[in-house]
A and B are shown apart, each in its own frame.
Chain A
Amino acid sequence: MAGLHAAERSSLLLRRTSWYRSALEIKGPRFMVKIKFIEHSGQEHDVETNPGASVMIAAVSNGVPGIDADCGGACSCATCHVYVDQEWLEKTGEINPTEEAMLSLSTDRKDNSRLSCQIQVTEDLDGLVVTMPEFQF
């Protein structure tokens, strides 16, 4: 395993669990995207991730606390809720109808709310900053 890049190592580990399958679309060496996760307390976590996976996968696979992701990315639990920094909002793409339905039930919904499992990491998102709500519910 020594010769493997950290991200490849973690993706190998993830391969064993089927709920991360969406993370495995990634192939070949690539540009790493930097994302900053800020907990409700202000604690910051900088991670590097592969384009192709979701922002939720980037958090969970790098051990960022505060994202439960109970449904594993199926857009059906809303426990991967984040607030996207205003300047990045447009680049994260459209909210899909299922995501809108789940978000609309959240008590902490804001204008910049997103479900992080529905944001696909692209090279355009290099430098993305998201904040976590106090609780995932």
Chain B
Amino acid sequence: MENKTIYMDYNATTPTDPRVLEVMKDYFFEKFGNPSSIYEIARENKKEIEKARQKVAELIDAEPEEIFFTSGGTESDNWAIKGISFALKNKGNHIITSQIEHHAVLNTCKFLSKIGYEITYAPVDKYGVVDVDFIRKSIKKETILITIMHANNEIGTIQPIEEIAKIAKENGIYFHSDCVQTVGKIPVSVKKLGVDIISLSAHKFYGPKGVGAIYIKKGTKIETFIHGGEQEKGKRGGTYNVPGIIGLGKACEIAKEEMEEEAKKVKYLRDKLEKGIMENIPEIIINGHPENRLYNTLNLCVKYVEGESILLNLDFEKIYASSGSACTSGSLEPSHVLLAIGIPPEIAHGSLRFSLGKYNKEEDVDKVLDVLPKIVEKLRKMSPFWEKK
């Protein structure tokens, strides 16, 4: 990455690790074959794909037969939710999810609600932890699926997945978890979590964009989502994205080896950033759970100023962060996640998300700590709500 820029938006996407890119390269030209063909380069490809599948399985403690490649997190979420809904439509039509899911889940549920499914949105507490009791009480005989994300992309709060999965199991209901923000960042074991389906995406952990996977526990009744050829045992049509899949496999292999080291380093930087901001800027609210939160994520609200204005000023300094705020996402309303944790709209507009990753350095954090207080002060001077002291 260009060294003048400071990238702190790793929850949005990550740069591809050069080692990942290296193994992908061959599959664009020399080994470009279609794995479904019969000749040798095709057979070779098929073998490599199976190796990648093995690596994905190892990272999440699953069996290779339970891994299916997709185009990414959004497709996996769509497949999980629609696939279960369609497969079990004679059993029931009720789905339980939460108010703070990613739009890939929320909008899929919204679609299903238009064609006869009933959706219950579980609330969260002020830290963004989903109300497990509410979920338990919402279960009825028509409930066919519970879908709750592992960690929230905006505020980083990690959900009590094991507990919810247990409730789902006791009631004979399938449980899906969108693990896009956790796989590759923290240890994810599908067995320990007790989930039936999870979604994951390569570009969130230094793999390429456009490829991901879904874990479907053996024996799960789920409808095909992408109809087509016989790829993925006929469950997911479409020519294999060979370089992407190989890249995903490599990203999983690297994550498995280096995740722990990295977590320590990134957490240190995030904590330093958090502490520095709290000490140097008055009237800041930190969002998300104090402990059960992704170690790389720092979401905060800067009172009396608007998120987009801060982001643009950071951008002038070549610092790239994001905001749950309206303006950046092309809609005007504040983040649904911040509203769900009870942040008033005018404060939610001042939200800012720094999500760090393995290429961040200590001087990046120092630079942000140097410029951010000045930016906030300048903008607050402009704000009618800021009482000049």
Task: Say whether A associates with B.
Answer: no
**Chain B residues within CB distance 8 Å of chain A:** none
**Chain A residues within CB distance 8 Å of chain B:** none
